[in-house]
Amino acid sequence: MSEASRIPSSPRSPKRLWSASRRESTLLLFGGSMKLTRWMYWTLACSALFALSACASASAPMRAATGWTERIAAEVNPHLALLEGQTRGATEAECVPGPVWATSVPEERRLKPRVEILEFTDFECPFCVRAQGTLDRVLEHFGPCTVRITTVPKPLPMHPGARDGAIVAARAAQDGPQAHERMHRALFEASEGLSAEQLKTLAKDAGLTESDVEQALADPELAAFVDWGVFVGDHGDARGTPTFYVNGHMVRGAQSFETFSEIIEGELQFSRDREGRWGDRWLTGRLALNAPVVYALMLEGRRITELPGSEEEEELADEDEEELPKELEIHQVDVKEGDPSRGKASAPVTIVTFSDFECHYCVKLDQTLAKVREYYGEQVRFVAKQYPLAFHKTARPAARAALCAQEQDAYWPYHDGLYEFGARFRESDLFALAEKLKLNMKKLKRCMSKKKTDARVDADMAQGEELGVAGTPVSFVNGFKINGAAPFSHFKALIDAALGPEAER
């Protein structure tokens, strides 16, 4: 076996696929002991560009359109069902599954690696009107079997008719994507001064009656759907309109076709480099990675207060902040021969976790990883790295003890036993646990006192710092970084994207 194995990454995995300076993705640090408490991701130039190109803020059965209701935990978020009708672009059923080189079907009917654009919009926003022509050009250029657009309502308070317009558009969506698109276009053609009477006239284009409009405006479920879109936008950093997420990469304002094209071409190339991944599972993984806040609020149906917190400590508060790695980066994480691991080295997915046994969020993450292990079995390998934080006085002795337990083939029983303490233990508990596991105590204590054991901990911490680890826990799923105690569904989205649509459970 070679001295070190490397987690597989894209055959052409540049650190960035394209310049992210204008299209930075929103990042949520899912719970953890972090010294990075705030960071700037938009320069003044980007702010000026946004100001010039965006408005800033002061139930009938449907066909299964996009797979939104089949995605993660859809039952916890009833609003996803309406998104089925608020899409443009072909469904997987309307395209031919298979490789892009399948010459037996016309080019426009082949299912290519897919890109999804989430469009947060306001029907009375002039910049949103301008953006529609660009989106039409995107669909025409890349084809409906490559790009799909989903509209999320984001009416701004300054536009009095925008909310009612969004409600009527949602009512049209209940009759399917085609009805919604007709209503969508009619609303943008009118764009200003959307009164109740005008909405009744415009609704005829979507096949709705005046009674349908009146009932829609009085429907609390449709109103809740629109309010939910506003909530997701505000907390996903889409506070102004239009704001787009292209496979999770944020685009603010009525940007050019070239801006969208550059991101889409990068995503398609990235998909090809990852063995041509496509479909709803792939799109979910891209959204989870690049816009985790939007992902959590849309696909998990969670409120912002339900997202895991951050275990910040005063000892870290005054330290200089470090620049976060870009989300598009695929990290090359070395796994050495002696690193504690569970699962086969040949597993298609490897999760490397830097953790601290005295960190409460690490305890929470360990429970999540146990669920991942149970769900995926031999498809995932788990590698443990030691990252004891300075303000946890027993964390470093615990890390040394765990590595010494490894010398007696008991790393994982010892690891699991430590986490059963719930991050609350004394140094004496380290030896009590070893006795419970019937380890050779003399050998354990001798190992813990060796400089070689300390050096192993230091090596893990140095590696973590090189990878941008600033707190715990931090995990890498085939090189993609996940900060903090992210939920099972977050890991599932990334693992499913890595395994591809043909993966068996």
Q: Answer yes or no: do 281 and 359 share one domain.
A: no
pLDDT of 102: 41
Model confidence pLDDT, tens digit, residues 248-279:
999 999 999 998 998 998 888 877 776 555 66
Total domain count, the chain:
2
pLDDT of 54: 63
pLDDT of 47: 39
pLDDT of 296: 78
Q: Please give the helix or strand (H or E) that residue 152 lies within, else none.
A: strand 147-153
Report whether 434 contacts 444 (CB < 8 A). yes
Q: Answer yes or no: do 336 and 285 share one domain.
A: no
Q: Answer yes or no: do 345 and 425 share one domain.
A: yes
Q: Answer yes or no: do 409 and 287 share one domain.
A: no
3-state SS, 262-288, equals HHHHHHHHHHHHCCCCCHHHHHHHHHH
Report whether 310 contacts 35 (CB < 8 A). no
Q: Answer yes or no: do 243 and 355 share one domain.
A: no
Nearest Cα neighbor of 18 from 407, 346, 416, 290 is 290
pLDDT of 342: 96
pLDDT of 236: 82
Asked if the structure places residue 433 within a domain, the reply is yes
Q: Answer yes or no: do 281 and 346 share one domain.
A: no
pLDDT of 426: 92
Q: Answer yes or no: do 262 and 370 share one domain.
A: no
Q: What is the pLDDT along the chain (505 residues), one digit of tens a residue?
A: 333 333 333 332 323 322 332 233 333 333 444 333 333 333 333 333 444 456 665 433 333 334 554 444 444 567 777 887 888 876 555 665 544 434 455 555 555 557 889 999 999 998 999 999 999 999 989 887 788 899 999 999 888 899 999 999 999 999 988 899 999 999 998 866 788 888 988 988 778 999 999 999 999 999 999 998 998 888 888 888 999 999 999 999 999 999 899 899 888 887 777 655 566 677 777 888 888 888 877 766 555 444 443 333 333 333 433 333 344 467 889 999 899 999 999 999 999 999 999 999 999 999 999 999 999 999 999 999 999 998 899 999 999 999 999 999 999 999 999 999 999 999 999 999 999 999 999 999 999 999 999 999 999 999 999 998 988 999 999 988 888 888 887 888 788 877 765 454 4
Asked if the structure places residue 40 within a domain, the reply is no
Q: Answer yes or no: do 215 and 347 share one domain.
A: no
Q: Answer yes or no: do 86 and 135 share one domain.
A: yes
Q: For the sheet with 480-483, list strands across it.
A: 341-342, 380-386, 349-355, 474-477, 480-483
Residue type, 198: Q
Instruction: Determine the Cα–Cα distance for residues 139 and 150; give it in Å rounded to an integer.
Output: 12
Total residue count of the chain as it appears in this document = 505
Instruction: Determine the Cα–Cα distance for residues 365 and 355; give it in Å rounded to an integer.
Output: 9
Instruction: Determine the Cα–Cα distance for residues 393 and 481; give it in Å rounded to an integer.
Output: 27
Nearest Cα neighbor of 460 from 319, 336, 326 is 336
Report whether 488 contacts 371 (CB < 8 A). yes
Instruction: Determine the Cα–Cα distance for residues 75 and 62; give it in Å rounded to an integer.
Output: 16
Q: Answer yes or no: do 158 and 281 share one domain.
A: yes
Domain stops at, among 272, 305, 338 = 305
Report whether 451 contacts 330 (CB < 8 A). no
Asked if the structure places residue 44 within a domain, the reply is no
pLDDT of 97: 53
Domain stops at, among 271, 290, 305 = 305
Asked if the structure places residue 37 within a domain, the reply is no
Residue-range definition of the domain harbouring residue 87: 65-305
Asked if the structure places residue 10 within a domain, the reply is no
Asked if the structure places residue 131 within a domain, the reply is yes
Asked if the structure places residue 152 within a domain, the reply is yes
DSSP 113: S
**Helix, strand counts (H, E) of the chain:** 19, 12
pTM, entire model: 0.55
Instruction: Determine the Cα–Cα distance for residues 232 and 406; give it in Å rounded to an integer.
Output: 45
Q: Answer yes or no: do 141 and 252 share one domain.
A: yes
Q: Answer yes or no: do 436 and 471 share one domain.
A: yes
Where residue 487 sits, what CATH number does that domain have?
3.40.30.10
Model confidence pLDDT, tens digit, residues 320-377:
333 333 444 678 899 998 999 999 999 999 999 999 999 999 999 999 999 999 999 9
Asked if the structure places residue 418 within a domain, the reply is yes
Domain stops at, among 289, 305, 321 = 305
